[in-house]
């Protein structure tokens, strides 16, 4: 009994950090069991010529146009009234006269959220879907970058410091997405949720 009293401070001192780690783990991981899994697949694009409604470089008459890899893009792509459309980018402006015009359009992918896999699709496939460009899917999930997703270092670090990584997030739940992105890709990739 005397030995326990002498070591009580040591036992309490060791028990507090262990209890804190357990409490933090419960706060982080328990909500995942009560969050409905994502239901809505999404279409995304990698490459040039995507017109995002929220882009600061977008203008009413068309996207911010610029030469890509020494060519002028022939088309730009955007979601209009729930459908992906391809529009003619027009002739290069005077400062780019003489630059060749080419179809340097993006690669489109359909991401299946239940399997967390992406499959390549053509523009013709993508234009058949009814799309929603809202930040959140109808069931409340959103695409987010890696900030805040690396865990509480050093206890729950999940190695997620790839700044190209994208997550599907809802509340405190985050799922690392397996997207087909090139290593040097730093741009936006989300295009729209597939609602039908």
Q: Would you give the end-to-end CA distance of the chain in angstroms?
A: 70
pLDDT tens for 137-187 read: 999 999 988 654 444 433 344 444 566 788 999 987 888 999 987 766 555
Spell out the domain ranges in the chain. Answer: 1-34, 36-194
Task: Identify the burial level of 15 via C-beta atoms within 10 angstroms of its C-beta, where 0-12 means exposed, 13-18 middle and 19 or more buried.
Answer: exposed
Q: Between 121 and 69, whose confidence is greater?
A: 121
DSSP per-residue codes, 82-128: TEEEEEE--SPPGGGTTPPEE--PPEEEEEETTTTEEEEE-HHHHTT
Share of the chain above pLDDT 90, in %: 30
Distance of alpha carbon 130 from alpha carbon 53, whole angstroms: 17
* pLDDT of 57 higher than 50: no
Question: Mean pLDDT for the chain?
Answer: 77
Return the structure tokens found at 147: 């900030």
pTM: 0.71
Q: Between 51 and 127, whose confidence is greater?
A: 127
Distance of alpha carbon 120 from alpha carbon 76, whole angstroms: 19
DSSP per-residue codes, 156-178: S------TT--EEEETTEEEE--
């Amino acid at each position: 009994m005397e030995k326990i009293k002498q070591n009580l401070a040591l036992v309490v001192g060791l028990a507090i950090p262990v209890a804190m780690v357990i409490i933090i783990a419960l706060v982080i991981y328990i909500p995942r069991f009560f969050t409905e899994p994502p239901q809505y697949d999404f279409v995304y694009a990698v490459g040039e010529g995507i017109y995002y409604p929220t882009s600061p470089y977008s203008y009413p008459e068309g996207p911010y146009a610029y030469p890509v890899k020494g060519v002028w893009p022939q088309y730009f792509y955007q979601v209009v009234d729930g459908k992906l459309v391809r529009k003619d980018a027009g002739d290069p402006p005077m400062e780019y006269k003489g630059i060749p015009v080419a179809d340097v359009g993006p690669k489109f992918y359909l991401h299946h959220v239940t399997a967390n896999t992406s499959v390549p699709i053509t523009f013709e496939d993508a234009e058949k879907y009814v799309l929603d460009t809202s930040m959140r899917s109808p069931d409340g999930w959103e695409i987010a970058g890696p900030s805040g997703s690396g865990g509480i270092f050093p206890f729950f670090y999940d190695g997620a410091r790839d700044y190209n990584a994208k997550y599907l997030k809802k509340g405190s739940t985050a799922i690392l997405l397996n997207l087909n992105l090139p290593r040097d890709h730093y741009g936006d990739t989300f295009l729209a949720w597939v609602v039908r």
